[in-house]
A and B are shown apart, each in its own frame.
Chain A
Amino acid sequence: MIVRRVAGWLDDRLGTNAAVRYLLEKIYPDHWSFYLGEFALYFFVALVATGIWLTFAFDAAGSNAYASTLALADRSHPIGYVIRQVHHWSAVCFVAAILVHMGRIFFTGAFRRPRELNWMIGLTMLALASFTGFTGYSLPNDSLSGTGLRIADSVALSIPLVGRWAAAVLNGDDVFPGRLLATHLYTLHVYYLPVAIGALLSLHLGMLIYQKHTQFTRDPRSVVGRRFWPDYALRTVAVLGATMAVLTLLAALVEINPIELYGPYHPWTATNGAVPDWYTAFLEGALRLGPATELRIFGHPIAPVFWPGLVLPLLTFGFLLVWPFVEPRITGDRAAHDVLDTPTQAPLRLGVGAALIFDGILLTLAAADDQTATALHVRLEALVWAYRILLFAGPVAVGLIAARIGREMRARIVESAVYPSDATTLVRNADGGFDEEEPQPA
């Protein structure tokens, strides 16, 4: 009753009922993999909700940062403890959910015309989410994250021509750690980056609603599925509940980022086995595998961290950004697609995606190469060289194998369509062999 009256009041002034009705009655196709993006959405919701609370509990100013985070890691104050734990857990889950969702979009070809732009927006959000995660991880000014910042500062410095400018912008100073470094990280983390993600997210969802969802049902003319209200509204509440349940369960069982064990940051302390949050680990792995050679251009050094720390992530990002425009050039298929492929229907894409995933996993593993070498009783240098070779040879092999599997599975589908199984009958002949019986004309 009250809902009806409020809706009527709003409709009278803004004419909203038609739009609301359109949204509520909108049809969405169904597949389990279409919920992956929703998980990412709700991790972001959890991040914003817990993040707002944390801004009131956290003191970002210089040396207070560690102490105020320590208070949030104190189990005798369960509210702050649980909210910080849920916040950090949702950050690592957020990036994971985006990646898995992106994998679905990539392997089913959902990024194809007309949705190239939404793919690029999503990819940008992945980069922003990782960067937000890194700035948040760095806020407490503990030993582990302080060392991470020092590495980030070295990477910024290594940029040719403008390295010192970039590092000076980051630090707000001409030394590390600069006077304004903590302030810059805090502003980025609680304002610019989340607002940018929120804005892109609105665009992402708006475009999804406007362009309508892709589907596996082979009907290019219409969307086939269920209504939003009440069917998907209930399902999305279920996804929301499941997301939050995962986060609170993780917070209850496993403590993430125990800064009370790391101690505050001093430029002269570091420990063995220090590992960053998982989504930045591939960069750490790349830094470990990177060359020790320092190039010189007209006497100007290019520090070795430049290649694995900056060129590699930017190249990967750029490659994924232009992939929706590269694929049609290779395959010649420039048509608009609302109907999805299964992964094996597009062997090229399957191969490229498998190669990328292989290298991503390899570099992430390389971030723990010292522990791995100790556990396997091999020399670290041998393992590094094995990883280096695998980094280039592995994706070629994995990509070719995956593409081959895709081609064969696609051929099998095509064969079964050309020769339906009920059309051929084998008949034993007098010599003991088999003959194919001709289909009888109807």
Chain B
Amino acid sequence: MKVALFLALTILGALGATAAAATGAPPGLLAGAATLAFLGLASAAGATAVALHAPDDLHEPRRARGPTLPSPVPDDGVTRRVFGRMWFAAFGAFGVLGLVPLISLARRPGRRVLTGWRAGLRLVDENNQPIRSDRLAAGGIETVFPQDGVNLPEAPTVLIRIPRELVTGAVPGDRAAAAGYVAFSKICTHAGCPVALYRRQAHELYCPCHQSRFDVLNGAKNISGPAPRPLPRLAIDVDAQGYLVARGDFDAPVGPDDWDRVR
């Protein structure tokens, strides 16, 4: 009787789920009806198993274990040791050959870091619009890119405007620094995440991935968290039309280091 009820629930649930799908009902209804169908199935099978009252102390003997065949000795005119070593060496040679396709798997070996920055290039926002030197108020922050390079992976740069007397390490005559602008790579030197958060009061950049903090007033030096070095700095200036431009590329390699990045 119980089993029949459970099976009826299964039928009801399955047909209900079909109807829900056919009528475009909300997904909760479809999944809920399917849940009933599966619950009915599980309960019916479980109840049948219990109702069988099958014996649970049946015995099945376990096999004896151990090697089934003695290991054969080759009869090839050479000693067994030489024989074994030659086989080993032959397979080893195939292993070496196998390295060829393995190494060639890297279709374009190496790693290019595409920042796109060079001297005189304007800073733009994510819509490729150039940035005027009055764009940000003090304490303001914006993600900027080299003109026409919004999609370059290592291009993203944070532009921050701080009180001008707090700017350090700027070249003399730098009009951007005189206005309080500093710019750093947005790609974390730890694992390449975007350093997306800025703590205005503390003048700190903060990586949401692994919580590295960088001191904006001190050349974006890594002050806490797993980042091993400061964020690279982008030297900037203001051009004749009043737009922010780069003075060159970053002062250090962008993103996490690797074995072949020898400095």
Interface residues of B in 214-253 (CB under 8 A from A): 222, 224-229
Chain A residues whose CB sits within 8 angstroms of the CB of B211 once the complex forms: 288, 369-370, 380, 384
Are A78 and B25 in touch, CB under 8 angstroms? yes
Q: Contacts A249-B35, A251-B31 known; A151 to B226 CB distance under 8 Å?
A: no
Q: Contacts A151-B193, A175-B111 known; A157 to B258 CB distance under 8 Å?
A: yes
Q: Is B2 an interface residue (CB 8 A)?
A: no
Are A180 and B107 in touch, CB under 8 angstroms? yes
Q: Is A242 an interface residue (CB 8 A)?
A: yes
- Using C-beta atoms within 8 Å of the partner chain, give the interface range for chain A: 35 or more
Chain A residues whose CB sits within 8 angstroms of the CB of B258 once the complex forms: 157-158, 163-164, 167, 301, 303
Are B58 and A168 in touch, CB under 8 angstroms? no
Which of A212, A251, A300 has a CB less than 8 Å from the CB of B60?
Answer: A212
Q: Contacts A82-B30, A242-B38, A300-B259 known; A147 to B194 CB distance under 8 Å?
A: yes
Stretch at the interface among A131-139, A193-201, A232-240, A311-319: A232-240
Which of B111, B193, B224 has a CB less than 8 Å from the CB of A167?
Answer: B111
**Most chain-A CB neighbours within 10 Å: which of B26, B49, B103, B255?**
B49
Are A165 and B109 in touch, CB under 8 angstroms? yes
CA distance A267 to B46 in the complex (A): 52
Chain A residues whose CB sits within 8 angstroms of the CB of B196 once the complex forms: 268-271
Q: Is B208 an interface residue (CB 8 A)?
A: yes
CA distance A167 to B212 in the complex (A): 24
CA distance A300 to B262 in the complex (A): 5
Q: Contacts A154-B256, A174-B112 known; A291 to B226 CB distance under 8 Å?
A: yes
Q: Is A173 an interface residue (CB 8 A)?
A: yes
CA distance A222 to B57 in the complex (A): 11
State the Cβ distance, B39 to closest chain A Cβ, in Å. 5
Are A151 and B209 in touch, CB under 8 angstroms? yes
Stretch at the interface among A223-231, A409-417, A427-435: A223-231
Q: Is B65 an interface residue (CB 8 A)?
A: yes
Q: Is B186 an interface residue (CB 8 A)?
A: yes
CA distance A34 to B20 in the complex (A): 36
Are A304 and B27 in touch, CB under 8 angstroms? no
Are B194 and A234 in touch, CB under 8 angstroms? no
Q: Is A27 an interface residue (CB 8 A)?
A: yes
Are B193 and A234 in touch, CB under 8 angstroms? no
Interface residues of B in 19-59 (CB under 8 A from A): 20-21, 24-32, 34-35, 38-46, 48-49, 52, 54-59
B interface footprint on A67-91 (CB within 8 Å = 1, 0 otherwise): 0000000011111011001100000
Which of A161, A238, A302 has a CB less than 8 Å from the CB of B46?
Answer: A238
Chain B residues whose CB sits within 8 angstroms of the CB of A225 once the complex forms: 56-58
Are B21 and A78 in touch, CB under 8 angstroms? yes
Are B56 and A287 in touch, CB under 8 angstroms? no
Q: Contacts A163-B258, A164-B258, A241-B41 known; A78 to B59 CB distance under 8 Å?
A: no
CA distance A17 to B258 in the complex (A): 60
Are A287 and B191 in touch, CB under 8 angstroms? yes
Which residue from chain B places its CB closest to the CB of A274 in the assembled complex? B208
Which of A151, A251, A270 has a CB less than 8 Å from the CB of B27?
Answer: A251
Are B57 and A227 in touch, CB under 8 angstroms? no
Are B27 and A150 in touch, CB under 8 angstroms? no
CA distance A249 to B30 in the complex (A): 10
Which residue from chain A places its CB closest to the CB of B197 in the assembled complex? A272
Are B62 and A222 in touch, CB under 8 angstroms? yes
- What are 24 inter-chain pairs, A to B, with CB distance below 8 A? A27-B60, A75-B26, A81-B27, A82-B30, A82-B31, A85-B27, A154-B192, A158-B256, A164-B106, A180-B107, A226-B58, A230-B49, A234-B48, A244-B34, A252-B28, A268-B194, A270-B193, A270-B207, A300-B262, A303-B258, A304-B190, A305-B191, A338-B62, A380-B211
Given contacts A268-B126, A268-B156, A294-B228, 11 further A-B contacts (CB under 8 A): A75-B26, A153-B192, A168-B106, A234-B49, A252-B32, A270-B196, A292-B222, A303-B258, A305-B190, A369-B211, A380-B224
